[in-house]
Amino acid sequence: MGLSEAIRALAARLAGGPRPEREPAGVTVPEADHNLRELQRKLGHTFADVTLLRNALLHRSHIHVTGQEREQSNERLEFLGDAVLGLVVNEILYDHYPDRSEGDLTKMKSLLVCGARLSEVAMDFDLGIHIRMSRSEAATGGRRRSSILADTTEAIIGAVYLDGGLPAARTVIERVILSGSDRVLSRRSLRNYKSRLQEMIQSRYKTPPRYKVLEVDGPDHDRLFRVAVTHGGTVLGVGDGRNKKTAEQAAAREALDRLEREPELLDGGQE
């Protein structure tokens, strides 16, 4: 058995365990979870193994309440989906923009697959109502929480890949994620580097990055600010600007570029 077949078999086994006849107290299962045909129609993919889709919709809060192993949540599929999404979007951008530099393509990809964009996509097709989560998570707004929606979107992409391979995943990504990509790439709100960096870090660590002025040079009428952005004591980026705000944006932009290449920078700790 090859690696691809082994991965699919493992995912199917994790997703296909016996289900209780009734949900335990403290767990909420939306009615839509029992009929996923509409969700599959919106995705443009009909699952041969629908247990993969159900697994992609299984939030860790549900696992905690039911006493199941954490590996049965959608986090593993999220890990896989993130890689598949990155590969497909990189390939499409590479083919469609032959005159763009590596730096430009990296920035375009960041706009198209950032957490804010993925959660926006999820909201568009009401993904939140399908997610299985604990009652307490749902009661505190979990079905509309940006990080949960973005993570679940990636998990679904991972599930589609295991169910139908890379061609199926590409079809779903083009239909769902890249639909209206020209409009997305031109939106100034997604070009706010500070907001994008904060959303990325807070979705993972619940604490924001910090900005520190390193140096101010030049006369009062022509000053140049140098600012560093850090998290957990790690410098993620440094930027220059004619005012503090511009320098902070430049630092955040450098941080996003570095994290695209070196995601392990965030593993140095948290504040």
* Residue 143 and residue 224 share a domain: no
Q: What is the C-alpha to C-alpha distance for residues 110 and 260, in angstroms, rounded to an integer?
A: 8
Residue (of 235, 268, 229) closest to 248 by Cα position: 229
Is 82 a known active-site residue? yes
Boundaries of domain holding 200: 196-268
Q: Which of 78, 137, 151, 154 is catalytic?
A: 154
Residue 104: the pLDDT is 80
Helix, strand, coil percentages in the chain from 3-state DSSP, rounded to 5: 65, 10, 25
Question: Is 191 domain-assigned?
Answer: no
CATH of the domain at 222: 3.30.160.20
Do 125 and 242 lie in one domain? The reply is no
CA distance 212 to 58: 40
Same domain (yes/no): 250, 181: no
> Domain with 9 in it: what CATH number?
1.10.1520.10
* Sheet of strand 224-231: strand arrangement: 210-217, 224-231, 234-241
**pLDDT tens, position by position, 98-124:** 988 887 888 888 888 888 789 889 998
Q: Which residue, 270, 238, 234, is CA-closest to 257?
A: 238
Interstrand relation of 133-134 and 224-231 (parallel, antiparallel or unpaired): unpaired
Domains of the chain: total: 2
Q: Are 249 and 263 in contact (CB under 8 A)?
A: no
Question: Looking at 141, 162, 186, which one is the last position of a domain?
Answer: 186
**Average pLDDT rounded to a whole number, residues 198-224:** 86
Looking at 82, 151, 199, 254, which residue is catalytic? Answer: 82
On whether both 95 and 181 belong to a single domain, the answer is yes
Which tens digits make up the pLDDT trace of 117-141?
898 899 988 898 998 888 888 888 8
